[in-house]
Amino acid sequence: MSNKITLGHVHMSGCTGCCVSIADTYGGLFTLLDNYADLVYTLTLVDVRHIPKMDVALVEGSVCLQDELSIEEIKETREKATVVVALGGCSAYGNITRFSRGGQFNQPQHESYVPIAKLIDVDVYIPGCAPNPEMVRNVAVMAYLLLKGNDAQKKLATAYLAPLMALAKDGSRIESDSEACGCDVMLKVINQGLCMGCGTCAASCPVFAISMEYGKPNIDREMCIKCGACYASCPRSFFSFDVCGDYENILGAISAAMNPGGN
Amino acid sequence: MDMLGKYKSCVAARSTSSEILKCSQDGGIVTQMFVYALEEGIIDGAIVAGPGDEPWKPQPMVATTPEEILAARGTRYNISPNLDKVGIVGTPCQIQALRKAQLYPVGLRYVTDKIALAMGIFCMENFSYQSMKQIVEDHCNVDLHSLKKTDIGKGKYWAYTNRGAVSQIPLKVTHKYEQPGCHVCLDYVANMGDISTGSVGSPDGWSTVFVRSTNGDNIWKKAVEAGVFETKAIDSVKPGLDLVTKLATEKITKNQKELEHRAKIGVGKGLRNPYI
């Protein structure tokens, strides 16, 4: 199908968990590849050695500053891809690689890891460790609608992607040094008088670092891996009445896209 | 701003079960709906605010039998974390959180498709557990252990004790204890619930019900057909929809002003607005 978008998975310093997440929609991945996207670059699945031109690059992992190839490849990704998506906590915020201080064999000098937005501008963030397969699917469908859809679909995709683009824009600012940890929930939500105790942050935390104490999130910072899921999930981090109020149509559109035969 | 949100129909309703009505807050809508949905297999379980380890402290629990649903009925007027699968009941902000989580399931795997029924409840504001304790114990002079029911209505906060005493204080006194996050909320009647309900607009013992989504409409129609609810046209009851609209407008207008105030609370500096 010539109308498909081209999609690649670029592997920086990550654990391949994000790559697994792409495949974790089971049949959903086949539907995506059959109808909407050609996978043009990814470890083990596609035999392409150099980063090709592509519409959407899903970048997993942070960039190791002591690894020249990583730096070259992330810059090349920016050049070759129309839309760069930071897929997962490491790529978007550093995540667990924030805690690295080097000293591991066989490359003990590899000690400095930065989110990709420290080196290139990023268009969309999908936080979380590992990123939720359904989020990867939703963003892939929306990217398709944005690049190949009609005007109404483009508008819908733009509105849907807006908050994820805003997170990326914030991360791409030169002075940005978001910790993307439970601290964001404290600094940007509770300290700002916005928390209403819904518990979504606690439910979203992959390492159970957030517990609800007397109806408010209590953050165990020793546990936090800085994946950014809690803040991105929080209805008071960003909330669009237009998008969320239209949940029936949007969820319907995604589900129709994932079930093109109508079965 | 749309004060009452999108809805397909609006009625005054109450459960036809005297067992449910006996201890429910108003018309027993949420309790009855979940009991019906459980019995019909529409949901496998519902996440509700059950009793916690301190008096009147809600704890989220998964109720999978009608008995467990009944144990959780009534309003506690303080915050209960409440988010996961199947049947869910929540305040407008909790339903907003749910819809955002369904659309942007950043940290919640495979939750989106599991929400079979989201019941929204009307909400003007809420209190932290400690605030509620302070209101009931210090202002109403009622020990939480002997509290039977609390209610907000007719401009007052009411505390009923197990031994039949009633204590009431004007809401003017309780305002300062409200949860700060409530003051930026722009939803009164749970605009994003499949079905939303609350006492306002209907006579005592009845609830106003907005049927909103296609899913909610299907389930509501079946439930009414099955005879578990008694309904009246909303324009046939007092005080009716006008009061709902009035209160929704009051809340939303006040909170929009608060958002504007927050934006310039400092000197050339302000607080974050979460709405985009």
Helices (H), B171-240: 171-174, 214-225
What pLDDT shows up at residue B61?
81
User: What was the pLDDT predicted at B84?
Assistant: 45
Same domain flag for B94 and B189: yes
| Shortest CA gap B19–chain A (Å) | 30
> Taking CB atoms and an 8 Å cut-off, how many pairs form between chains A and B?
156
| B159 & B247 share domain | no
Confidence at B53, pLDDT banded by 50, 70, 90: confident
DSSP helix/strand/coil, A60: strand
Closest CA to B273 of B265, A218, B148, B262: B262
Per-residue model confidence (pLDDT) at position B76: 53
How far apart, in whole angstroms, are the C-alpha atoms of residue B166 and residue B143?
A: 12
Q: Annotate B1-19 with DSSP letters as a single string.
A: --SS---SEEEEEEES-HH
A120-139 confidence digits (pLDDT tens)? 999 999 999 999 999 999 99
Q: Is the domain of B54 the same as that of B138?
A: no
Lowest-confidence region among B151-155, B165-169, B209-213, B228-232:
B151-155
Report the chain A residue with the minimal C-alpha distance to residue B54. A214
Q: A88 CB near a chain B CB, below 8 Å? A: no
Selecting from A200, A203, A244 the residue whose C-beta is nearest the C-beta of B103 gives A244
pLDDT, position A1: 43
From B177, B193, B213, the end of a domain falls on B177
Contact A196 B191 (CB under 8 A): no
**pLDDT at position B23 over 80:** no
Please name the residue that has the structure tokens 């359904």.
A134
Q: Which domain holds residue B24?
A: 9-122+184-263
**Most distant CA pair in chain A, distance:** 55
> Distance (Å) from the C-alpha of residue A182 to the closest C-alpha of chain B?
13
Determine the pLDDT at residue B80: 46
| A-interface mutation test, from B78, B103, B115, B187, most A Cβ less than 10 A away | B103
Same domain, B14 and B141: no
Q: How confident is the model at residue A178 (pLDDT cuts 50, 70, 90)?
A: low
Residues B172 and B188 in one domain: no
Is A256's Cβ below 8 Å from some Cβ in B? no
Comparing C-alpha atoms, which of B263, B96, B23 is closest to residue A197? Answer: B96
Same domain, B196 and B65: yes
Where does residue B132 rank: exposed (0-12), middle (13-18), buried (19+ CB within 10 A)? buried
Tokens of A68: 């020249």
pLDDT tens digits for range A57-100: 999 999 999 999 999 999 999 999 999 999 999 999 999 999 99
- CB atoms under 10 Å from CB of B236, counted, come to 9
Fold of A5-177+241-257: Rossmann fold (3.40.50)
Whether residues B61 and B40 fall in one domain: yes
The four Cα atoms B112, B113, B119, B120 give a dihedral, to 10 degrees, of: 20
> Which chain B residues have a beta carbon less than 8 Å from that of A235?
93, 96-97, 100, 274
pLDDT band of residue A179 (cuts 50, 70, 90) is: low
The torsion defined by the Cα of A163, A166, A171 and A174, in degrees rounded to 10, comes to 180
CA distance A36 to A157: 14
Instruction: Name the minimum distance, in Å, from the CA of B184 to any CA of chain A.
Output: 7
CB atoms within 10 A of CB B233: 11
* Identity of the residue in B104, B106, B129 whose CB atom sits nearest the CB atom of A215: B129
Q: Provide ipTM, 2 decimals.
A: 0.93
Cα gap A130→B51, rounded to integer Å: 34
Which of A165-174, B49-58, B236-245: highest mean pLDDT?
B236-245
Share of chain A above pLDDT 70, in %: 97
Q: Is B83 on the interface with A (CB under 8 A)?
A: yes
Average pLDDT, chain A: 91
Q: CB distance A194–B106 less than 8 Å?
A: no
The last residue of one of the domains, among B153, B177, B201, is: B177
Give the mutation candidate from A93, A198, A251, A259 for the B interface (greatest B CB count, under 10 A).
A198
Mark which of B139, B156, B177 sits at the end of a domain.
B177
The number of C-alpha atoms within 13 Å of B83 and in the hemisphere containing its C-beta is 34
Q: Are residues B189 and B252 in the same domain?
A: yes
Domain ranges of chain A: 5-177+241-257, 182-233
pLDDT at B81 over 70: no
Mean pLDDT of A1-17: 89
Residues B51 and B144 occupy one common structural domain:
no
Q: How far apart are CA B164 and CA B160, in angstroms?
A: 7
Q: What is the mean pLDDT of residues B89-116?
A: 91
Contacts of A131 in chain B (CB under 8 A): 106
pLDDT at residue B83, rounded to an integer: 40
Which residue, A51, A75, A57, A45, is CA-closest to A7?
A57
Asked whether residue B226 falls in the same domain as residue B250, the answer is yes
> Across the interface, which of A128, A163, A239 has its CB nearest the CB of B107?
A128
Strand locations in chain A (E): 5-11, 37-41, 54-60, 63-64, 81-87, 113-114, 124-126, 210-213, 216-219
Which of chain A's residues have a Cβ under 8 Å away from the Cβ of B90?
198
Query: Which of the four pLDDT bands, split at 50, 70 and 90, describes residue B106?
Result: very high
Q: Is B132 inside a domain boundary?
A: yes
- Give me the CATH topology for the region A182-233: Alpha-Beta Plaits (3.30.70)
Q: Is the pLDDT of residue B151 over 90?
A: no
Using omega within 30 degrees of 0 as the cis cutoff, is the peptide bond preceding A260 cis?
no
User: Quick one: average pLDDT of B248-262?
Assistant: 96
Does residue B163 share a domain with residue B32? no
Q: Does A243 touch chain B (CB under 8 A)?
A: yes
Per residue in A183-211, pLDDT tens? 889 999 999 999 999 999 999 999 999 99
Asked if A196 reaches chain B (Cβ–Cβ under 8 Å), the answer is: yes
Confidence of residue B63 (pLDDT cuts 50, 70, 90): confident
* CB-based contact A238:B274 (threshold 8 Å): yes
Query: What local confidence, expressed as pLDDT, does residue A181 receive?
Result: 74
Asked whether the beta carbons of residue A214 and residue B128 sit closer than 8 angstroms, the reply is yes
- Is 90 exceeded by the pLDDT of residue B91? yes
Quickly state the pLDDT bin for A142 (edges 50, 70, 90).
very high
pLDDT for res B62: 83
Indicate if the pLDDT at residue B82 is higher than 50: no
Smallest CA–CA distance from A199 into chain B, residue: B81
pLDDT confidence of residue A202: 93
Contact A144, A39 (CB under 8 A): no
Chain A interface includes B275 (CB < 8 A): yes
A39-45 mean pLDDT: 87
For residues B87-107, average pLDDT = 93
d(CA B100, CA A234) in angstroms, rounded, equals: 8
Together in a domain, B99 and B14: yes
**Domain contains B2:** no
* Confidence category of residue B108, pLDDT binned at 50, 70, 90: confident
Residue B3 lies in a domain: no
Residues 195-214 of B with CB under 8 A from A: 213-214
Which CATH number characterizes residue B131's domain?
Answer: 3.10.450.750
Q: Is residue B145 part of a domain?
A: yes
On the question of pLDDT at B118 being above 90, the answer is yes
- Identify whether the C-beta of residue A233 lies closer than 8 Å to the C-beta of residue B104: yes
Total number of domains in chain B: 2
Identify whether A132 is preceded by a cis peptide bond (ω within 30 of 0): no
